[in-house]
Amino acid sequence: MLSVVIATRNDAHRLVATLAALVPGATAGVVSEAIVADSGSTDDTAAVADVAGCRWMSSDAPLGQRLADAAASARAPWLLFLRPGAVLDPGWVAEVRRFIEAAEIGGRADRLAAVFRRAPSPDTLRPALMEALWFVATSIALRPHPDQGLLIAKRFYLELRGHTGPDAERGLLRRLGGKRLVTLRSGVVLLGSRDI
């Protein structure tokens, strides 16, 4: 049903958390494959991907090109872009299945995409007040962020020219715009910071 694409760079620990959250989707037949688009990791990222059965693509190309190359090679008709460290709520599988089925039945698979709801981070190093202010500010802004993931039909992704430009992830979200982007009820938390 969908191919998960994760861009990495020295993200072994964060990748473990993300892949663990995807296991229910694989068990339910929603996740067909996971593709790791790496940019020269020197830690155990490749080993984590291998143990989990991910397809490994390594390149020194910019992030947008790595994401586009992974998407072009995806075997499933739907793509789910996640950042390493993104942990989805337990109910994500049923909601993603419903979204895909509704989009396909309604003939809107080439007009709609989805992001996950931002969930507060369990990061205990960030003071609770600062976390609450960040959560409220980003929720009010109503602008999707790459940390929220992106669920999109592969043909719609290709029609939009995928990830292009210097700020490829945000650029694609901007091109989608508010009317073609649905925020799912399932939340996503991003664990740790990263540099891909």
Instruction: State whether residue 101 is helix, strand or coil.
Output: helix
User: What does the pLDDT look like over 86-104, one tens digit per residue?
Assistant: 999 999 999 999 999 999 9
Q: Which pLDDT score, from 0 to 100, does residue 98 have?
A: 97
Burial (CB < 10 A; 0-12, 13-18, 19+), residue 38, is buried
Q: Phi/psi of residue 4, each to 5°?
A: -95, 130
> Domains in the chain, please, with CATH?
2-117+145-190 (3.90.550.10)
> Of 7-11, 43-47, 80-84, 120-124, which range is least confident?
120-124
| pLDDT of residue 187 exceeding 90 | yes
Compute the average pLDDT of residues 32-46. Answer: 97
Q: Which pLDDT score, from 0 to 100, does residue 165 have?
A: 86
Q: Which pLDDT score, from 0 to 100, does residue 137 have?
A: 52
Entry pTM: 0.90
| pLDDT of residue 141 exceeding 70 | no
| Model confidence band, residue 124 (pLDDT cutoffs 50, 70, 90) | very low
Compute the average pLDDT of residues 158-167. Answer: 93
Instruction: State whether residue 195 is helix, strand or coil.
Output: coil
Q: Which pLDDT score, from 0 to 100, does residue 123 have?
A: 55
| pLDDT of residue 192 exceeding 90 | no
First to last CA, the chain: 27
Q: Which pLDDT score, from 0 to 100, does residue 132 have?
A: 57
> Of 9-18, 141-150, 156-165, which range is least confident?
141-150
Question: Closest by alpha carbon to 18, among 93, 116, 91, 87?
Answer: 87
| Model confidence band, residue 133 (pLDDT cutoffs 50, 70, 90) | low
